[in-house]
Each structure stands twice: as structure tokens, then as C-alpha cells.
């Protein structure tokens, strides 16, 4: 246990994400807010909303400022938000003549939301790279194992043969859909926030729209109408992150299954040992991915709840996002990192795979039944296979005994006769990128 697994000397290395944590650090948060204030002053100066000299003085004077975080902390305590304290703090670095024009016409939420969006932009860049790397790694493994027949498993039971390549492609399938959505996510999220106290830009009338456009340009964001109470974009982002986390959790769950002592068809990652049970190889990486997905789900529910704001700007729902958006981003980011290691080290154990197929030749029942239907009516074929299954003997042994016809049984039981579409499907899944 720790106050936060993502910020713990003991747990962070496994559950956290140093790169993401840097993006959401207190220091980075303060820097993004300063970036907003500097850009705001400059564009307001250019537009003549404030004296041009003051705009420039603010922009230049705060370029190297080191914000006193303890002052911000006190500000949060007294007003629930860091911005008024930040503004005071920044003014202390400026000539009062210019400092009076700092934060001109903005509301705290303009600053905090835009800072959040700037952090999200960085996080999205990281996530995009990792997502691509995971899909690439899975694609390579799917190709490597494109013809390796394995027992398909459905509902806890061995079903029909597929290929290892198809299974891997199916793990990638949701990730590929999710990857395609990245431009949409960026378009929906990377928007400047500038609306003033009640979101009507009354304090800077009639320049609000122009300031917003200028700010957006300076910060590399899209211009937007004030979205203080439209948090649908954040729900959209959170859902996208959740989709990644859940897709990886499915993949991790399958790995845990296929790495079980009784199956061992694949190995991936470095197994965690046990001091007293040397035979064990605990699936540490996949377990962590599943843990992180649960954390992402919990965070998602809170973020969706936060979107139900009150009034023209809200005070109680908004900080839920401050708390949980970093959580879901970090959980998802860390999950992708673990997933990449597992994808790159994924190894199919052909001997075990073959042993399972041999010990469970019921896996061929469907194929045999369909192929038998070329020699007799389908109901008869199905009945024959069912009867063979009831004998308790391997199908390959029982069927010829029960069947009056003389057929090429080795051919009927050859899984390669039916798995060709698996390769096609796997290729088509990756071709959709």
C-alpha cells in the first residue's frame, strides 16, 4: 500500500510511469500555467487589450520564473484553486505597472483547463508512440506464428483449431481501432480554454474571440468556444484511454491463462519467482496490466461523473478531473509499457501446444463433422461425431470404428485443412491500419 502506487518509492517502478508522472508533476503543472499567462499577456498586448509594453514585459519577465509551490498550496487552501495565488506570486516578479495586466480578463478555469490540455497533448504524444510500438510488436509476432495451429478456446473449453497468429491479431484488433481514433481524440481535446468568469468573455469584450484564437495559436492548440461546462471531450478521452486499458487487460488475461502451469503454451516477460516454490513463474507483467486496468476503470467512472457540472462554472466536479485524469493516463501509459515488453518477448511453446492438441482431439470435432457432411447428410455426420465423443476414446480412434464408410481419416483430422482463413483474418486485421 501507498498513498499513491504511482508515486511511491516501493511501488512506482512497477505500477507507475516516470515519463507520464513528469508530465503531471506539480512543477510541470505550474510551468504550463505560467505558459498560459505569458501567452495571454502577449496576445492581449498585440491586440491592444492591455498596453503592448506590458504584454511584452509580462511575457519576457516570466520566462524563467521559478514558482513557489508552497504559495500555490496556500492559495488552493483558501480559494480551492491555485490560480489567484499563482497570479499574486507571478506579479511579485513583475513591475507593478505591468503586473496589473497579468491574467487580464481570464478566469482561473481558463488557466487550469488550458494547462491540463497542454499536458494532455504531451501525454497523447507518448501514448501514440507506445500504442504504435505495441501494435508493431504484435504484428511481428502474428506474422511469426501465422501458421502455427493451436487449440482455440471459448468459454473455458477447447473449441476448434485456430492459429497463434490469429489470436495475436485479435489482441491487436481493438488497439488498431483505438489507434485510428487518435486524430479524433486530439481534435476533441486539444482546444484552448478562454471564457472569463462566467464563460461569456464579458471582461475582455469585444476582444475575447480574438484573444482565444491568438492564445490557441501561441500554444499550439485549436481555438474553441469556452467549454467550461462541456466536459464531453474529457469523457471521450477517458473512454479512449479506458478502451486501451481494457484491451490490454484482455490480452494480459489471455497471457495469464496460456502461461498457466497446466497450459504453458506461451511465455512472455520475465516470470516472477518465489523463494520457496522454485517451480513457479508468476505472470507479474500481465497481472500488473490487469491491476492497472481496474484502476483505469475506477478513474473513468469518476471522470464521467465529473462531467455532470452545475451552473455556468462548477467548483466541486472540476477537481475530480484534476485527481483522476492523471490516474487514468498513467495507468494506461504504464500498461502500454508492460504490454510492449510482453509482446516483444512473447514466445509460443510449440511442444506444449502440440501436446494440448493431441490430448484433446475433440478440438477437431467441428472440422471433422463439416468434412464428413461432404460424405453424408449433416445431421448424420453430427450424430456420428457426437456418438464418437461419447465413447470417451480419442475421436481419431472412435470415429473410424463407428463409421461405416472408409475415409481418409488423417486428412479429416488435419487442422491445416481448415486454418487457412485464420491467416487471412490476421492479415486483414493488421492491413486495416
Tell the smallest beta-carbon distance from residue 316 to a copy of itself (Å).
4
Query: Rounded to whole angstroms, what are the CA distances from 246 to 20, 84, 240, 249, 432?
Result: 19, 39, 10, 5, 21
Residues 207 to 236: which contact a copy of itself by CB under 8 A? Answer: 208-209, 225-227, 229-233, 235-236
* Site map (CB under 8 A) of a copy of itself, residues 252-281, x = contact: xxx-xx-xxxxx------x-xxxxxxxxxx
User: From CA 321, how far away is CA 183, in angstroms rounded?
Assistant: 22
Tell the smallest beta-carbon distance from residue 373 to a copy of itself (Å).
8
Q: Which of 10, 53, 351, 358 binds a copy of itself (CB under 8 A)?
A: 10
Contact (Cβ atoms closer than 8 angstroms) between residue 228 and residue 109: yes
> Any contact of residue 199 with a copy of itself (CB under 8 A)?
yes
> Any contact of residue 433 with a copy of itself (CB under 8 A)?
no
| Cell of residue 405, nine digits | 464408410
Q: Which of 37, 266, 314, 340 binds a copy of itself (CB under 8 A)?
A: 314
Residues 43 to 82: which contact a copy of itself by CB under 8 A? Answer: 69-70, 72-74, 76-82
Q: Which of 35, 130, 186, 290 binds a copy of itself (CB under 8 A)?
A: 290
Exposed, middle or buried, 41 (CB in 10 Å: 0-12/13-18/19+)? buried
| Cell of residue 220, nine digits | 499550439
Contact (Cβ atoms closer than 8 angstroms) between residue 111 and residue 37: yes
Give kind and range of the element (H or E) at residue 167: helix 164-180
User: From CA 215, how far away is CA 200, in angstroms rounded?
Assistant: 17
Contacts of 246 (CB under 8 A, 6+ apart): 174, 293, 296, 297
Q: How many CB atoms lie within 10 A of CB 184?
A: 11
Residues 117 to 156: which contact a copy of itself by CB under 8 A? Answer: 119, 151-156
Q: Which of 55, 214, 286, 333 binds a copy of itself (CB under 8 A)?
A: 286
> Any contact of residue 310 with a copy of itself (CB under 8 A)?
yes
Residues 385 to 414: which contact a copy of itself by CB under 8 A? Answer: 385-386, 389-390, 395
3-class DSSP assignment, residue 384: helix
Tell the smallest beta-carbon distance from residue 176 to a copy of itself (Å).
9
Tell the smallest beta-carbon distance from residue 127 to a copy of itself (Å).
15
User: From CA 126, how far away is CA 27, in angstroms rounded?
Assistant: 19
> Any contact of residue 168 with a copy of itself (CB under 8 A)?
no
Contact (Cβ atoms closer than 8 angstroms) between residue 244 and residue 336: yes
- Which of these ranges, 34-42, 96-104, 342-350, 403-411, lies near a copy of itself under the rule CB under 8 A? 96-104
Tell the smallest beta-carbon distance from residue 331 to a copy of itself (Å).
9
Q: Which is nearer to a copy of itself, 62 or 113 (CB)?
A: 113
> Which residue in this structure is represented by grid cell 486483414?
428
| Cell of residue 136, nine digits | 508493431
Backbone angles phi, psi at 322, to 5 degrees: -60, -35
Q: Which of 34, 87, 139, 168 binds a copy of itself (CB under 8 A)?
A: 87
> Which residue in this structure is represented by grid cell 501514448?
127
> Any contact of residue 157 with a copy of itself (CB under 8 A)?
yes
> Any contact of residue 92 with a copy of itself (CB under 8 A)?
no
3-state SS, one letter per residue, for 317-354: CHHHHHHHHHHHHHHHHHHHHHHHHHHHCCEECHHHHH
Q: Which of 105, 139, 218, 398 binds a copy of itself (CB under 8 A)?
A: 105
Q: How many residues bind a copy of itself (CB under 8 A)?
A: 192
User: From CA 292, how far away is CA 261, in angstroms rounded?
Assistant: 24
Q: Which of 137, 216, 268, 325 binds a copy of itself (CB under 8 A)?
A: 325
User: From CA 74, how far away is CA 310, in angstroms rounded?
Assistant: 26
Tell the smallest beta-carbon distance from residue 347 to a copy of itself (Å).
16
- Which of these ranges, 108-116, 213-221, 343-351, 405-413, lies near a copy of itself under the rule CB under 8 A? 108-116
Give kind and range of the element (H or E) at residue 163: strand 157-163
* Site map (CB under 8 A) of a copy of itself, residues 351-390, x = contact: -----x---x-xx-xxx-xx--x---xxx--x--xx--xx
Tell the smallest beta-carbon distance from residue 86 to a copy of itself (Å).
9
Residues 330 to 349: which contact a copy of itself by CB under 8 A? Answer: 330
Amino acid at each position: 500500500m501507498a498513498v499513491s502506487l504511482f508515486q511511491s518509492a516501493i511501488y512506482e517502478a512497477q505500477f507507475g510511469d516516470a515519463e507520464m508522472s513528469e508530465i503531471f508533476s506539480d512543477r510541470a503543472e505550474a510551468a504550463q500555467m505560467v505558459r498560459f499567462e505569458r501567452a495571454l499577456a502577449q496576445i492581449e498586448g498585440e491586440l491592444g487589450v492591455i498596453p503592448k509594453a506590458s504584454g511584452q514585459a509580462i511575457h519576457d519577465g516570466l520566462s524563467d520564473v521559478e514558482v513557489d509551490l508552497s504559495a500555490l498550496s496556500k492559495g488552493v487552501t483558501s480559494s480551492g484553486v491555485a490560480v489567484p495565488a499563482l497570479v499574486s506570486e507571478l506579479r511579485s516578479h513583475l513591475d507593478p505597472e505591468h503586473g496589473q495586466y497579468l491574467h487580464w480578463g481570464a478566469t482561473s478555469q481558463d488557466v487550469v483547463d488550458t494547462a491540463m490540455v497542454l499536458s494532455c497533448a504531451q501525454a497523447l504524444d507518448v501514448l501514440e508512440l507506445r500504442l504504435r510500438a505495441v501494435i508493431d510488436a504484435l504484428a511481428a509476432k502474428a506474422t511469426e506464428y501465422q501458421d502455427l495451429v493451436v487449440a482455440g478456446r471459448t468459454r473455458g473449453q477447447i473449441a476448434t483449431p485456430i492459429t497463434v497468429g490469429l489470436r495475436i491479431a485479435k489482441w491487436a484488433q481493438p488497439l488498431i481501432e483505438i489507434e485510428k481514433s487518435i486524430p479524433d481524440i486530439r481534435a476533441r481535446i486539444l482546444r484552448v480554454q478562454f471564457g472569463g468568469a462566467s464563460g461569456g468573455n464579458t471582461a475582455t469584450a469585444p476582444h475575447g474571440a480574438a484573444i482565444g484564437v491568438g492564445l490557441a495559436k501561441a500554444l499550439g492548440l485549436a481555438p474553441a468556444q469556452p467549454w467550461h461546462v462541456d466536459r464531453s471531450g474529457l469523457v471521450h478521452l477517458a473512454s479512449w484511454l479506458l478502451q486501451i486499458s481494457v484491451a490490454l487487460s484482455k490480452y494480459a488475461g489471455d497471457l495469464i491463462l496460456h502461461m498457466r502451469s497446466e497450459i504453458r503454451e506461451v511465455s512472455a516477460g520475465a516470470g516472477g519467482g518465489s523463494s520457496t516454490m522454485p517451480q513457479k513463474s508468476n505472470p507479474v507483467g500481465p497481472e500488473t496490466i490487469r491491476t492497472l486496468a481496474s484502476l483505469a476503470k475506477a478513474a473513468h467512472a469518476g471522470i464521467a461523473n465529473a462531467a455532470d457540472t452545475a451552473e455556468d462554472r462548477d467548483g466541486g466536479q472540476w477537481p475530480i478531473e484534476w485527481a483522476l485524469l492523471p490516474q487514468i493516463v498513467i495507468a494506461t501509459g504504464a500498461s502500454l509499457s508492460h504490454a510492449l515488453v510482453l509482446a516483444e518477448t512473447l514466445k509460443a511453446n510449440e511442444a506444449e501446444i502440440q501436446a494440448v492438441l493431441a490430448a484433446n482431439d475433440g478440438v477437431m470435432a467441428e472440422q471433422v463433422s463439416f468434412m464428413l457432411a461432404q460424405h453424408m447428410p449433416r445431421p448424420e455426420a453430427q450424430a456420428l461425431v457426437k456418438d464418437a465423443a461419447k465413447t470417451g476414446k480419442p475421436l481419431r480412434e472412435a470415429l473410424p470404428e463407428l463409421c461405416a464408410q472408409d475415409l481418409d481419416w488423417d486428412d479429416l483430422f488435419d487442422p491445416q485443412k481448415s486454418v487457412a482463413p485464420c491467416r487471412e483474418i490476421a492479415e486483414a486485421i493488421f492491413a486495416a491500419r
